[in-house]
């Protein structure tokens, strides 16, 4: 069983990967994963669990920065990260001391005498050592633990040491190399702040957890941690407060802002007896809620868990960058060596081209790519969450952005699932008696049709036994008598003599063991936004296909009404699977399946992206789907595609722009047109710029 912890103090994905690999080597750990974007450590132990302190000690073997591991189960909202951490303050002090020593060497010992030459050398050497010693230690520790030492730290050591050596031998000008180290450390601070701020922005966007709960105990109200609230507690929600746990309103009324869950801008009126989800904000009135779910099972906790775990399913761009970063640095070092050797042998100017080769290395650091690409995808997931859409991994952003076909179920997906009884017909029972039998059998099912029928009937007797034949209907026993309720296929299966009805509505037949009883006809209303969804998909050149168990005339009617490109009718779940498989094969896996998350689970799992309607409350939807629409609005599918395209395009832009800028800086460095410290600024500046570009996805405002 995996355990999750909060891990803080890692400032870059490379550090996270290094710590992850080292932890995974421990004999008591079978698997380990660090999600850098969400600062979550997932560990699966072998035998006895390691303590938090033991894991921190293991990480200290390869990571000099202070890494703190916390138990994630306390469920408390994290405070904002401190901008200047201990590590950042330490780096800042190093910068100041090194700069002062460098300035003394530069301006005090400058007359060219031997004494001043050696004093100048000594001050700059000390400044260099103060700036570079921790980088040396990290590289040595990496080598000692048999990890790949070729990273940005090693590049900087080579560049700075080379610059210092060249200055000592040829020019006595040590400032350029020292500036490289100082700017590198300044870049570390800036990248740390940017990275932490970015992660805070995304997590805060999706963290709907209340900070406290007002629990009523013995007629007194006590403010406690939300994690200490339990099933059966009564919680008072005041004006402007977040609902801390899921539950039923037992007194009070008011308007609730549900936009954090479903993206709807209009508040919803709730009254006594209504069910409310945690994470929503009370905008008027006051409520007393009876809690029926523990905090870790509540809507806000489940949503946050889905979002923070989403990065485990990485996009193609993420995977590309991970592989790219592993081979990039060795290749860069090799190219720099080749450049130095070839250019120096041709020109004979060894010092000049060694210096330019070192600039080559500095300009090549991959930080901008490694940090900004995952952030683009994670920011997209955060933005989708703000709009009531849960995307369970950055891999699905790629799939949504490149989709070619949307295959959809009908009932509860493109239609409301709120059926109206259009007609009742029986030659042997009264209309009320027929409805009582049908509702009694249907009451045992969770299908939207069954729920709709039951909601229209009162005082029915529930079936004492129940069996469902998927795609055909139900068999139930009421008062020791067996009844068959369902489609014409069910009647034919049990050789019931009946009159088949040709109607565009949904026909439900009923029979007992010895005779045919009659039928009812239901009408299902189309959702207002379904047509807008289909038209929006067509504008994006995405084909629409309807798969339904309805008869041909009903499927044809709905398809014409919604302008759907292709439809298939009278399908069992197995038929749907076969058709979906054929569509997926024909379109090279670029297929979305849209369903209600219950009877469509096989198709949701089969499609490239399975999107379920109906929200976080349905466990089947959460488990089977790749994307969850928190409300039942089909138009949110278009929103998910739009956000995904924007996130993917941002990631691609970051990759292309970063490589072009680095190529330009490398070329300028090779021709000696820029000093080494400019290459450092270009690398750090690019990292910050592209991280902000990724974060821009999150701060775009929703259009009302």
Q: Indicate which residues carry an active-site annotation.
A: 409
How long a stretch of residues is the chain? 704
Q: Where are the alpha helices (DSSP H) in 207-279?
A: 259-262
Cα 348–chain centre separation: 55
- Tell me how far apart the alpha carbons of residues 363 and 9 are, in angstroms, rounded to a whole number: 26
- Tell me how far apart the alpha carbons of residues 36 and 372 are, in angstroms, rounded to a whole number: 12
Measured in degrees and rounded to the nearest 5, phi and psi for residue 368 equal -60, -40
> Could you write out the DSSP letters of every residue in 619-641?
HHHHHH-SEEESSS-THHHHHHH
- Tell me how far apart the alpha carbons of residues 626 and 612 are, in angstroms, rounded to a whole number: 8
The answer to whether the beta carbons of residues 507 and 487 sit under 8 Å apart is yes
Give the dihedral of Cα atoms 269, 272, 278, 280; nearest 10 deg: 20
Residue 311 CB partners (closer than 8 Å, separation 6+): 35, 36, 37, 38, 318, 374, 377, 378, 393, 394
89-94 contact pairs (CB < 8 A, 24+): 91/185, 91/188, 91/189, 92/189, 94/130, 94/131, 94/185
- Nearest CA-CA partner of 34 in 48, 155, 58: 58
What distances in angstroms separate CA 497 from CA 467, 515, 536, one per listed residue? 21, 8, 46
> Could you write out the DSSP letters of every residue in 346-364?
HH--HHHHHHHHHHHHHHT
The answer for 237, left when phi > 0, alpha when psi is -120 to 50, beta otherwise, is beta
The answer to whether the beta carbons of residues 367 and 288 sit under 8 Å apart is no
In DSSP terms, 481 is beta-bridged to: 478
In DSSP terms, 405 is beta-bridged to: 543, 591
Residue 43 CB partners (closer than 8 Å, separation 6+): 2, 3, 4, 5, 23, 29, 31, 32, 50, 55
> Could you write out the DSSP letters of every residue in 638-678?
HHHHHHHHHHHHHHHHHHHHHHHHHHHHHHHHHTT-S-HHH
The answer to whether the beta carbons of residues 228 and 274 sit under 8 Å apart is no
The answer to whether the beta carbons of residues 322 and 312 sit under 8 Å apart is no
- Tell me how far apart the alpha carbons of residues 13 and 152 are, in angstroms, rounded to a whole number: 12
Among positive and negative, which fits the CA dihedral 28, 33, 39, 41?
A: negative
- Tell me how far apart the alpha carbons of residues 143 and 157 are, in angstroms, rounded to a whole number: 15
| 281-291 vs 609-613, strand pairing mode | unpaired
- Nearest CA-CA partner of 189 in 684, 693, 692: 684
């Amino acid at each position: 069983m995996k355990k999750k912890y909060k891990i803080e103090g890692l400032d870059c994905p490379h550090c996270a990967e290094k710590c992850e690999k080292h932890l995974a080597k421990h004999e008591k750990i079978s698997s380990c994963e660090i999600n850098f974007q969400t600062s979550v450590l997932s560990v699966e132990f072998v035998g006895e669990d390691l303590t938090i302190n033991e894991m921190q000690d293991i990480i200290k073997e390869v990571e000099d920065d202070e890494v703190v591991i916390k138990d994630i189960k306390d469920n408390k909202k994290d405070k904002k990260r401190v901008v200047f951490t201990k590590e950042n303050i330490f780096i800042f002090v190093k910068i100041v001391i090194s700069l002062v020593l460098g300035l003394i060497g530069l301006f005090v010992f400058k007359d060219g005498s031997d004494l001043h030459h050696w004093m100048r050398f000594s001050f700059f050497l000390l400044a260099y050592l103060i700036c570079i010693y921790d980088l040396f230690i990290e590289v040595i520790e990496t080598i000692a633990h048999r990890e790949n030492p070729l990273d940005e730290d090693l590049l900087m050591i080579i560049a700075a040491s080379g610059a210092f050596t060249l200055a000592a031998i040829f020019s006595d000008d040590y400032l350029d190399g020292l500036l490289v180290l100082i700017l590198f450390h300044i870049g570390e601070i800036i990248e740390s702040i940017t990275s932490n701020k970015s992660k805070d922005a995304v997590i805060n966007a999706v963290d709907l957890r209340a900070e406290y709960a007002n629990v009523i105990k013995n007629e007194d109200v006590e403010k406690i941690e939300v994690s200490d609230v339990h099933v059966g507690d009564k919680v008072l929600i005041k004006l402007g407060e977040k609902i801390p746990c899921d539950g039923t309103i037992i007194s009070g009324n008011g308007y609730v802002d549900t936009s954090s869950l479903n993206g709807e801008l209009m508040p919803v009126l709730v009254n006594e007896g209504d069910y409310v989800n945690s994470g929503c904000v009370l905008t008027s009135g006051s409520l007393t809620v009876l809690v029926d779910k523990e905090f870790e099972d509540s809507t806000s906790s489940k949503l946050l868990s889905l979002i923070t775990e989403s990065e485990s399913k990485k996009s193609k761009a993420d995977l590309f960058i991970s592989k790219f970063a592993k081979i990039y640095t060795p290749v860069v070092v090799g190219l720099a060596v080749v450049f130095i050797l070839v250019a120096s042998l041709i020109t004979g100017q060894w010092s000049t081209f060694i210096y330019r080769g070192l600039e080559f290395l500095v300009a090549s650091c991959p930080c901008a790519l490694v940090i900004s690409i995952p952030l683009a995808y994670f920011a997209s997931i955060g933005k989708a969450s703000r709009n009531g859409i849960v995307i369970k991994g950055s891999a699905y952003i790629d799939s949504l952005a490149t989709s070619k076909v949307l295959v959809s179920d009908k009932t509860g997906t493109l239609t409301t699932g709120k059926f109206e009884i259009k007609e009742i017909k029986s030659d042997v029972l009264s209309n009320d008696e027929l409805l009582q039998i049908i509702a009694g059998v249907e009451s045992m099912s969770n299908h939207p049709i069954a729920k709709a029928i039951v909601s229209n009937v009162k005082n029915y007797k529930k079936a004492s036994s129940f069996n469902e034949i998927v795609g055909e209907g139900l068999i139930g026993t009421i008062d020791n008598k067996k009844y068959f309720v369902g489609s014409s296929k069910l009647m034919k299966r049990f050789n019931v003599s009946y009159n088949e009805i040709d109607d565009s509505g949904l026909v439900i037949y009923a029979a007992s063991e010895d005779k045919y009883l009659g039928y009812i006809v239901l009408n299902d209303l189309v959702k207002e936004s379904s047509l807008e969804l289909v038209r929006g998909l067509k504008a994006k050149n995405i084909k629409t296909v309807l798969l339904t168990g309805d008869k041909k005339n009903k499927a044809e009617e709905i398809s014409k009404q919604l302008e759907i490109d292709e439809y298939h009718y009278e399908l069992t779940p197995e038929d749907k699977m076969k058709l979906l498989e054929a569509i997926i094969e024909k379109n090279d896996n670029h297929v979305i399946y849209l369903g209600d998350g219950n009877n469509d689970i096989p198709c949701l799992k089969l499609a490239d992206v399975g999107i379920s309607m109906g929200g976080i409350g349905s466990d089947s939807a959460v488990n089977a789907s790749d994307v969850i629409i928190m409300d039942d609005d089909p138009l949110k599918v278009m929103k998910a595609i739009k956000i995904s395209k924007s996130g993917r395009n941002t990631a691609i832009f970051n990759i292309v722009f970063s490589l072009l800028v680095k190529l330009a800086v490398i070329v300028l460095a090779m021709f000696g047109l820029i000093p080494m410290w400019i290459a450092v600024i270009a690398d750090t500046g690019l990292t910050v710029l592209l991280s902000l570009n990724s974060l821009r996805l999150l701060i775009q405002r929703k259009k009302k």
